[in-house]
Amino acid sequence: MALSVGRPRGGAIAEINVTPMADVMIVLLIIFMVTAPILARPPVPLPTAVHPSEHKGETLNVVVHADGAVTIEGSPLGDSVAVADYLAARASATRSLLILIQADRDVPYRDLERVLTACRTSGASEIALATELRPGSG
């Protein structure tokens, strides 16, 4: 690191320790909002945003319906444990692909949180929230 150049051994290290924050709160994930070409016809009405990133690569799509029901690649899954099991059974895809959460704009956060937690505990490396670009903001 540039900070250590020319610094004697044992010198001060200018790094911030963020561990105490993680101890107090469970960080579910660092989130990204994305739009993706696959979302030209989303399976549920997505929320709109002005500042989503664009994602063009392959994704593993997790759909959260307004009533909290979840489908992955067309398979309906009963609860968050089933979601975690499904993702864990496809560990290589779960770890290598962007998990794209396509949640209905009207779903209560508690239903989304269960799915996010399931994604995190099953080893997902990257999770993004699907949004549509708000009309007139592009």
- Please report, as ranges, the residues that interact with another protein according to CB under 8 A: 21, 24-31, 33, 47-51, 80-81, 84, 88, 103-110, 112-114, 116-118, 121, 129, 131
**6 or 108, CB closer to another protein?**
108
Separation between Cα atoms, residue 69 and residue 37, nearest integer Å: 24
Separation between Cα atoms, residue 85 and residue 98, nearest integer Å: 18
User: Least distance from C-beta 14 to another protein, angstroms?
Assistant: 13
Smallest CA-to-CA distance from 114 within 122, 44, 106 is with 122
User: Least distance from C-beta 132 to another protein, angstroms?
Assistant: 10
User: Least distance from C-beta 68 to another protein, angstroms?
Assistant: 11
**42 or 47, CB closer to another protein?**
47
The burial class, CB within 10 Å (0-12 / 13-18 / 19+), for 44 is: middle
